[in-house]
Amino acid sequence: MRRFSILSLLLFSAYGLFSQKIVPAFEEVIALQRPSNTIISPDGKHVAYTVSTADWEDNRFDSEIWLSKNGQAPFQLTRTKDGSSSNPQWSPDGKYLSFKAKRGDKTQIHAIRIAGGEAFPITQEKGNIGGYEWSPNGKQIAFTMSPDKEKVEKKRKDRYGAFAIDDQEFNLSWLYLIAFDPNNINQIFLPCYDEEDSTAQGWDCQTLPEAIALIDSVDYTLQNFQWSPDGTAIAFSHTPDPLINSFFNADISVINVADKNIRTLVANPSADFLADWSPDGQSILYTSALDNRTSNYYKNGQIFKMRVKDGPSTQLGADFDENLGGLEWTPAGIYATAWQKTNRGIFKIDPNSGAVSPLLQNPAQIFSFSADKTGQHLAFYGESGNDLREVYTHNLTTRQSTKLTNYSKQIAHWKTAQSEVIAWKSKDGATIEGILHKPMDYDPNKKYPLLVMIHGGPTGIDRPTPVPGYVYPVLQWLDKGALVLRPNYRGSAGYGEKFRELNVENLGVGDAWDVHSGIDHLAAQGIIDTTKMGSMGWSQGGYISAFLTTSSNRFKAISVGAGISNWMTYYVNTDIHPFTRQYLKGTPWNKPEVYEKTSPMTHINNATTPTLIQHGEFDRRVPIANAYELLQGLRDKKVPAKLAVYKGFGHGITKPKERLAAIWHNWQWFNEYIWGETVEMEGLEDSEKE
């Protein structure tokens, strides 16, 4: 009896040891592996997807392709030494998986035989390959590529130095074809000699096929394209140039592969983009803004089908009040994904009636799906409130889903966020939802410091997740004893077109209503300490945080990540001027009162909140002038402020080491002003003392 008790005690102790939850290090959160880009084989048996990992030595995020064969455990298929492998695609017969990788000077198309063997190159072009797609019979691959301008650019630089003309420095992408014949791969084992060498023999050097230009020397650039099911034509979207604002001028055309004859299919006054061909090749599916050039950023997209031969167009899904994305036309119907509040499912569109109906709603958020050639088997990655994203397959005939991966095991022993969707009424009566994150040992009788983390967009959306963050150490703050609120403020996706329009001409102002009312809602429940609150966000979330730091005194600390501080400064510097004109309904010259009302700098004289500003050095989306303007205004008002500039980055922090630095900067800032603690960045103490 005594022996049994001791054994039981040992087993219990071991169980307690292994089941104990820990708080992960910042590096561990950054290094989480995450799958994406799922693609199912034509016969529905195999699934390929990419996995992102952190390469700390080279300071980059690496993406490689993984494969699950016949529903078995996935394994890593590719390993590109100094770069990533991306854009996996199946050959029509399912025997090969192609992908893009830079295994030399340029990014080229490679392929690997699923039955076994090493990857081999399909192209050896002078330029980088853009988009690509297999022909239906698998004998050709079409791809986009920009013409080589290296010699021209060098000649100009040698004579005139380095300069650029605004909105005139770009490369057009044109369309090319290359043959694919696996019988010619690695068949010649003899050496290749220079033809002037007297020892040269009468055999040919092994070379890859030469690409044939299908569309070149035209005054537009290709955006996306797709082969017709019979392989005789390629439909494509095109814009005058690749500049970001040229999407307004996107049209759709089709080229006959045999004679290269090009015919325009859709040319509305605003953006038209190809989505897919019908399985019978008689029609195309496309999205269009028709003649709308003034509210594209927040209006629902419109979907149409059109007979290629003679038209006309018919709208589909007109009664569905959200954006439908990832459109794929299968023999079983048209599939798409869409947000419905904080959930994202797969929907089916009837190509005849245009009616939209739910197809798959589990897990809670589904992304990046693909269908086999019958439309009866799907592959996708998805996630729920307590798990990381996983790769799934789904059989529509049996209605059975199978989870192929277990990436959530990475966080099995972590203290993760406990998520709850809450709702409240804003100042103007609008219903606002948000995600409230609680620590695992949450005590409803205790009042917690509150940190508000605001998403970007504004048409982004927050959802329940076990590991929120980006550059914010949420799990560590939860463990420290805080609640984190992530509001889906007006303008967020998932709540319909009218909701997205609520911050038009009212940016910042209405958004602040939604944040403040959310805080009031939690305060009324007696669960937060309103004397210890902070706010943070990136991009649009950074702008709202900047608005809060100058218009409110209820926060103890704020972090502004790549945020707008003055709409006029932003307007004249950004690369997306139409965004500002649409949301503020004018320019600074004809709507100065709106620009003033919605700019954080208008209220700078009221600022008292200690503010950390984080910005990428070369940000074109929200130029760094916004950071310096807010910094100087705060300094002039004697408000504690600090600017962290991340060298070499644009609008996002896309490398692990600098992301780690950004997390530390937020950890230091909020710990100091919310908890009154001074924290030193690890690894710098000794060097600073020296």
DSSP classification of residue 639: -
377 torsion bin: left (phi>0), alpha (psi -120 to 50), beta (else):
beta
Give the residue from 50, 46, 89, 92 showing the smallest Cα distance to 69. 46
Q: How confident is the model at residue 689 (pLDDT cuts 50, 70, 90)?
A: very low
Q: Where are the alpha helices (DSSP H) in 536-655?
A: 540-551, 567-573, 577-584, 592-597, 625-636
Confidence check: pLDDT of 143 > 70: yes
CA distance 23 to 40: 36
Rounded to whole angstroms, the Cα distance separating 420 from 602 reads 35
pLDDT in tens, 264-277: 999 999 999 999 99
**pLDDT at residue 153, rounded to an integer:** 84
Work out the angle at residue 456's Cα, subtended by the Cα atoms of residues 221 and 609, and round it to the nearest 5 degrees.
Answer: 140
Distance of CA 347 to the CA centre of its chain: 21
Q: Give the pLDDT band of residue 690 (cuts 50, 70, 90).
A: very low
What pLDDT is recorded for position 685?
Answer: 63
Q: What is the pLDDT of residue 568?
A: 96
Reported as a single tens digit per residue, the pLDDT across 535-563 is 999 999 999 999 999 999 999 999 999 99
Residue 687: is its pLDDT beyond 60? Answer: no
Lowest mean pLDDT across 166-175, 524-533, 606-615: 166-175
pLDDT of residue 190: 56
User: What percentage of the chain exceeds 90 in pLDDT?
Assistant: 86
- Are residues 247 and 271 in contact, defined by beta-carbon separation less than 8 angstroms? yes
Q: Tell me the domains of the chain and their CATH numbers.
A: 414-676 (3.40.50.1820)
- pLDDT score at 13: 39
Distance CA 634, CA 541 (A): 19
> Is residue 7 over pLDDT 50?
no
Q: How many residues make up the chain in this entry?
A: 690
Model confidence at 311, pLDDT cuts 50, 70, 90, reads: confident
- Residue type, position 542, single letter: G
Rounded mean pLDDT of 303-312?
93
* Whole-number pLDDT of residue 191: 64
pLDDT on residue 210:
86
- For 212-225, write each residue's pLDDT tens digit: 999 999 999 999 99
How large is the average pLDDT for residues 450-477?
A: 96
Task: Give the sign of the dihedral formed by CA 115, CA 116, CA 117, CA 122.
Answer: positive
Lowest mean pLDDT among 23-37, 112-126, 325-339: 112-126
Contact 615, 631 (CB under 8 A): no
Residue with tokens 């710990």: 671
Which pLDDT score is estimated for 6? 38
Q: What is the pLDDT of residue 151?
A: 81
What CA–CA distances, in Å, run from 269 to 109, 266, 353? 35, 10, 26
Contact present, 470 and 660 (Cβ < 8 Å): no
pLDDT bucket at 189, cuts 50 / 70 / 90: low
Q: What is the mean pLDDT of residues 155-171?
A: 87
Q: What is the pLDDT of residue 208?
A: 75
Of 164 and 524, the structure prediction assigns the larger pLDDT to 524
**What sign does the CA torsion over 509, 511, 516, 520 have?**
positive
pLDDT digits (tens, 9 = 90+) for 575-628: 999 999 999 999 999 999 999 999 999 999 999 999 999 999 999 999 999 999
3-state secondary structure of 634: helix
**Residue 339: strand, helix, or coil:** strand
Asked whether the predicted pLDDT for residue 35 surpasses 60, the reply is yes
Task: Measure the CA–CA gap between 505 and 667, rounded to whole angstroms.
Answer: 34
Phi then psi for residue 511, to 5 deg, are -65, -40
User: If you average pLDDT over residues 300-311, what whole number do you get?
Assistant: 94
Q: What is the pLDDT of residue 663?
A: 98
Q: What is the DSSP string of 284-300?
A: EEEEE-TT--SSTTTSP
Judged against a pLDDT cut of 60, whether residue 11 lies above it is answered with no
pLDDT digits (tens, 9 = 90+) for 398-444: 999 999 999 999 999 999 999 999 999 999 999 999 999 999 999 99
The pLDDT assigned to 150 comes to: 79
One-letter-per-residue 3-state SS of 419-447? EEEEEEECCCCCEEEEEEEECCCCCCCCC
Task: Please say if the pLDDT value at position 8 is more than 70.
Answer: no
Average pLDDT of every residue of the chain: 92
Cβ burial of 657 (10 Å; 0-12, 13-18, 19+) is: middle
- Given a cut of 80, is residue 197 above it in pLDDT? no
DSSP helix/strand/coil, 252: strand
pLDDT grade, residue 684 (50/70/90)?
confident
